[in-house]
Amino acid sequence: MDNVITYETNEFNTIVIRRFDESVDPAINLSELQLWVNNENILPSNASTLDAYFANWTDKDTPLPPNTSQGFVNDVNPHLFNNVVEFGVGTSGSDPVNAIIINDIPSTSVNDIQAIVLYHRGGDGNVGRAIGLTIELYNNDTEYDPNLLLPLATTTPITIGVRGYRYDFSSFDTYTLGFSNGTSISQIPLETYDGSTTNSIIREIPTIFNAKVNIITDATITGGLSVDTITTTGNVSVGESLFLGDTSLTEGNWTLKSLTITENATIGGTLSVSGSLSNPNQPCFKVIRTNTSVSCTSGENLKFNEAVIDNRNAYNSTDFEYTIPVAGNWYFYYSFACDGEELKVQSQQNTIVRDEITTGTITFPIKYSLGCKGMVIIPCSVSDVIRVRVENGSVSLNYVDELNSFGGFLIG
């Protein structure tokens, strides 16, 4: 086959009868439960090995006592699968009971069930207590569903109070023993007899445990796909978006139309980018002088008072310093005009000199004739302070057309 899906199991070993709304009132009063497979009610022959108990569904692993002696395990007293359809109560449990759980049923495929028949205690004052009950089938093995969370099949909650309820499954057509016109231990009852039995609706749920999926040709999924781990040995192409959550991608080549990473990402190998790599959060800044030109003398930082670019708000326009927001290698530049005298201007990291411009006495007749520019790459840590400082002489900052500026950006 081109597309093969192998279901590891659709077999159940547990039957649950419970109130769908989890109410504890009224009491549960049942006569007999029948599970018809291959023309046989298989519960009585396995009664001695079944583990059945009353429970409250919110604490389903804790057995609760029955009313008086109407439990499951003592064959002297009536119980739910003794192959006797009592008119009175077969088994009974009251508040806080709202469920009956029957474990250790011989492993049976849901597809092999012909019918499930549930007989309720008779009498007009009693049959109404069946309203709200539902039957669910589970596989409680450790590797499948030990906490009874994923029913393989479930019935709709009972809405009318009658003596019996018949649920037809997918193998119902293979049943050949005929039908009784009343309660019976040897035949499935008619859908209705004297208005006291009803054929109720059963819904088989396609729960897949530990499924192995092998798809050789294309597969289209119109809804959502939720998986724990994706492993591929070939190429995978995702046309739209792929949400991974906590899952991982391993092996093969992945072609993604878009990839958004909101947490940290580690790339152990080489990242090849054929297009452009956009990084809008890369820290950078550029500051200038506005309104008036100004002189900066010995012991002063270059007085750039306005940020044209500062995407991390890290420049202090009062102290004229930039505080590093992200650790890494940074590229910095700065420019100013000679003020006509000997000067020494330094780029400093935490007062440590990283770059320096010096000149002798300038003899040009016009001030600002000599423009100076410095450039440097500095390894930085978070909270390092970067400044450009006049150590000797004086310089000028020209505000016209942003002729002088100070800036930098993280390069890696």
* pLDDT value of residue 369: 61
* pLDDT value of residue 2: 42
User: 10-residue block means of pLDDT along the chain (412 residues)?
Assistant: 49 95 92 95 91 93 80 52 86 92 94 92 88 94 89 89 89 93 90 60 54 61 65 66 63 68 76 72 91 91 95 95 96 89 92 91 58 94 96 88 92 88
In the structure encoding, which two tokens stand for residue 326, read together? 């992200």
Q: Which residues contact 197 (CB under 8 A, 6 or more apart)?
A: 162, 163, 164, 165, 166, 189, 190, 191
* pLDDT value of residue 234: 65
* pLDDT value of residue 211: 52
* pLDDT value of residue 48: 86
The ranges assigned to domains in the chain are: 3-204, 284-410
* pLDDT value of residue 75: 41
* pLDDT value of residue 359: 83
User: Hey, is 45 helix, strand or coil?
Assistant: helix
* pLDDT value of residue 74: 42
- Cα–Cα distances in Å, from 288 out to 323, 335, 398? 17, 10, 9
Which among 229, 190, 226, 223 is positioned nearest to 208, based on CA atoms? 226
* pLDDT value of residue 33: 94
* pLDDT value of residue 239: 62
* pLDDT value of residue 190: 86
CB 140 within 8 A of CB 148: yes
Q: Which residues pair with 344 in a beta bridge?
A: 358, 392
User: Hey, is 22 helix, strand or coil?
Assistant: coil
Number of H helices, E strands in the chain: 1, 34
pTM of the model: 0.51
* pLDDT value of residue 325: 95
Tell me which H or E stretch contains 198. Answer: strand 197-200
According to DSSP, residue 398 is labeled -
In the structure encoding, which two tokens stand for residue 122, read together? 């008779």
CATH number for the domain whose boundaries are 284-410: 2.60.120.40
Which among 81, 70, 85 is positioned nearest to 46, based on CA atoms? 81
